[in-house]
């Protein structure tokens, strides 16, 4: 029996690794999107796939997001497992009609006779000095849609396991990749084809004083804030939500019951964000455990600014530390 196939990879390389594995082990998996075949994708997430699996399974599409979304649905209902890429999340809106009206409803509409085992991939979020429609975090738009999972990895290991799981899932999944940390961290990933569970939060750090709830790229700043607060004698429990819809409320409520305080961190704008749903869930399920109001550290209710003001928009380590100090003082 061979040993583990450990590889030091970045998040975007982990995505590539997972796609290679699943395509090698399931001939029904196909990949499509703009510039994903010959060029290997704008972020190189699909590099090498066309050479390994051929143009019939790795397909360049026109610049037409509605076509990409709809074609993937047709493929999925007829037995394939498509992984369709939107070049940036800011381009996904042209495909929303297909995603919301058809992919998410196919199982219900046909009373289970058809289903949609497909994955929509999209790089999202700010931090790379791109224009505003390349830098948005609008996961809440899709978290509101029944029948559609929304998954956001926060590390190479999480990206690998959380991409394998949606490809194998019988229903549609929106897999949002935080491009700000595409190459920020390198981790050892065992290329063994093991998926991570969906619909589950991951507790990254145990603590007693406050629960820090976050997902995606903000996990990086949240862990750094937890380190800084530990030096002050404040222990933080850090939870990576990972699947923002459906929420793993049990893990969140159990943690808040232990710590009595919660700070929610996300880079999307505050109004109507996923953080509001998390806060409402805590108010409904753990109100009597709270020793202080739930606090959110978020982006602003404005269009993502250009790169000169980008860091002012994104939550910083100091913002998280200040929020924790606020709830501890109450």
Phi, psi of 29 (to 5 degrees): -80, 125
HSE-up of residue 23 (Cα within 13 Å, Cβ side): 23
- The distance in angstroms from the start CA to the end CA of the chain is 57
Structure tokens that stand for 234 in this block: 């404040």
Gap between the Cα atoms of 165 and 160, Å rounded: 9
Residue (of 250, 165, 264, 166) closest to 216 by Cα position:
264
Q: Where are the beta strands (DSSP E) in 167-275?
A: 173-178, 187-190, 202-205, 210-214, 236-240, 243-245, 262-269
Annotate 132-180 with DSSP letters as a single string: GGGS---HHHHHTSTT-EEE---SHHHHHHHHHHHHHSSS-EEEEEEGG
133 is catalytic: no
Catalytic residue among 20, 133, 134, 144, which?
134
**Phi and psi for 317 in degrees, rounded to 5?**
-55, -45
CB 249 within 8 A of CB 301: no
Q: What are phi and psi of 254, to 5 degrees?
A: -65, -40
Structure tokens at 221: 């700043």
In contact, 200 and 251? CB cutoff 8 Å = yes
Q: Which tokens in the block code for residue 296?
A: 């959110």
Quote the Cα angle for 304-310-312, to 5°.
105
Catalytic residues: 134
């Amino acid at each position: 029996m061979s040993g583990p196939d450990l590889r030091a990879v970045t998040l975007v390389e982990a995505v590539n690794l997972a796609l290679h594995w699943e395509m090698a082990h399931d001939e029904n998996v196909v990949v499509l999107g703009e510039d994903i075949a010959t060029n290997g994708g704008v972020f190189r997430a699909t590099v090498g796939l066309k050479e390994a699996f051929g143009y019939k399974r790795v397909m360049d599409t026109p610049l037409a997001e509605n076509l990409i979304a709809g074609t993937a649905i047709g493929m999925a209902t007829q037995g394939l497992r498509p992984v369709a890429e939107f070049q940036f999340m800011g381009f996904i809106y042209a495909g929303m009609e297909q995603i919301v009206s058809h992919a998410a409803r196919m199982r219900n509409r046909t009373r289970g006779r058809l289903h949609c085992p497909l994955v929509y991939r999209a790089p999202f979020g700010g931090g790379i000095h791109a224009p505003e429609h390349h830098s948005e975090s609008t996961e809440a738009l899709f978290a509101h849609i029944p029948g559609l999972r929304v998954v956001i990895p926060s590390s190479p290991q999480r990206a690998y396991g959380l991409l394998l799981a949606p490809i194998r899932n019988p229903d549609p999944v929106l897999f949002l990749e935080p491009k700000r940390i595409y190459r920020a961290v390198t981790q050892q990933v065992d290329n063994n084809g093991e998926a991570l569970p969906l619909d589950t939060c991951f507790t990254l750090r145990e603590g007693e004083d406050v629960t820090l709830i976050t997902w995606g790229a903000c996990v990086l700043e949240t862990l750094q804030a937890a380190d800084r607060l530990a030096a002050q004698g404040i222990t933080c429990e850090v939870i990576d939500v990972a699947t923002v819809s459906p929420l793993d409320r049990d893990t969140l409520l159990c943690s808040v019951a232990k710590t009595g305080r919660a700070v929610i961190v996300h880079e999307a704008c505050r109004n109507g964000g996923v953080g509001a749903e998390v806060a409402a869930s805590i108010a409904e399920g753990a109100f009597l455990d709270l020793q202080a109001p739930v606090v959110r550290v978020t982006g602003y209710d404005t269009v993502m600014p250009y790169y000169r003001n980008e860091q002012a928009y994104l939550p910083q380590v100091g913002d998280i530390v200040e929020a924790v100090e606020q709830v501890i003082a109450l």
